Structure 1
């Protein structure tokens, strides 16, 4: 459930639920083990909101803290639980065509051999409901021969430790695409702030497919405008 970078200074770990996991966070040498993985993800999103507000990008995720939204806690709790259950089964076949998802945390090693959580990524074999059929047809969704980037967040509480974590996680996701024989890799992003996020994902090798709008995505009266993008993963 842990994969290490070549230099041994970073690792990718499957996020685990607060209870029922094979090993505790303390046993995994995670710094701040009293903070659950679900809380880490919620607080990482929280940490981004002041920065987004400072650059006029409140519309990306709204202004209410994710950790204070019961529906967000339920959403991430369920995603992490299912991810852990699916990937804890050693007999799980990487070629399995059944629905699959994975919540991965990227951690960096400190001088005292503790692992600091700095970013999180959620992958699955399904499109979010908010992506319109005009961009992702029913046939495409049902084919299931793709991975989708559902979540990607760095924890701004960790400062410089979190820098460069997104490319590491995207590279890890591409490895999962190859492992599971999924050629297209899809995702979406907010298209405000002069398409800044889209340009960032283009630097990571993604190409835009098309824009779409989502009414009330982050609450009543909070419209959201996004892009669907993808990249082809060589096997």
Structure 2
């Protein structure tokens, strides 16, 4: 597939079964991470962990609720001091239209019964929140009244889609930046694994999200998950 893949975007919803697809796509990242020496980024298969499955379902559910409560991304939803409401959540799916004959083998069975010559395949996902997760708060607060932000809590590519997913991460990040601007804010933050020579940190740097601090999340008495908080400014 051409590197100039053309994506379309929609909100993730429980009705569309996106919570199940999120988990399947998350599972698909493990072989890829192993191939680039980043096995320690994720050491478990999400679909085998009830807590991970529940976490993903809640992401999509919270986005559904937010879409009803805050249907329009506007500065009008900000508080008097310009801070977004902490219950603001938005999950996105990036999709691509492709001829049936070009569907990757890993997904062929799933789309074999679709009608028509063209099918729409989800290839990437993103979750935005108006608060930082607890594990990064040594670097960044839950929210900053003096410098408010939207937080990128989840960004993923479905590796079963192969070349069809190429560029979807960058495209989703562009949507995230537009969300920040639509809300009248100027700051997008997020975090990522910093192991394997900070390879993933370098990816986000190339997308305009610069590292602003490192953190460690203990996994056991001897080991920890190494992370970095990143930031983009409009």
TM-score by length of 2: 0.80
**How many residue pairs get matched?**
206
Unmatched 5+ stretches in structure 2: 79-84, 100-116
Could you say what secondary structure the match of 2:200 adopts? helix
Matches within 5 A, 1:86-235: 86-89=66-69, 92=72, 94-95=74-75, 96-97=77-78, 98-99=85-86, 100-111=88-99, 112-133=117-138, 135-137=139-141, 140-141=143-144, 145-216=148-219, 223-233=224-234
Other structure's SS at 2:185 match: coil
- Please give the residue correspondences for 1:3-42 in structure 2 after superposition, counting only pairs within 5 Å: 9-18=6-15, 25=16, 36-42=17-23
Segments ≥4 residues shifted beyond 6 Å: none
Higher normalized helix content (fraction of residues): 2
Match of 1:47 among 20, 28, 32: 28
Check 1:47–1:222 CA distance in 2 against 1; reply closer, same or farther (3 A cut).
farther
Contact 2:91 2:128 in 1 (8 A): yes
Query: Which runs of no fewer than 5 residues in structure 1 stay unpaired?
Result: 1-6, 19-24, 26-35
Equivalent residues of 1:106, 1:169 under 8 A apart: yes
Q: Which residue of 2 aligns with 1:28?
A: none
Question: Is the CA contact 2:191–2:228 (under 8 Å) kept in the aligned structure 1?
Answer: yes
Normalised by the length of structure 1, the TM-score is 0.80
Distance 1:220 1:46, change over 3 A: farther
Q: Distance between the aligned counterparts of 1:93 and 1:175, measured in 2?
A: 10
Match of 2:104 in 1: none
Q: CA RMSD in A?
A: 2.3
1:145 positional shift = 2.2
- Give 1:79 deviation, angstroms: 1.2
- Residue 88 of structure 1 deviates from its aligned partner by 3.7
Q: Deviations over 1:5-55 (max 9, x none)?
A: xx994211101114xxxxxx4xxxxxxxxxx21111111111111121233
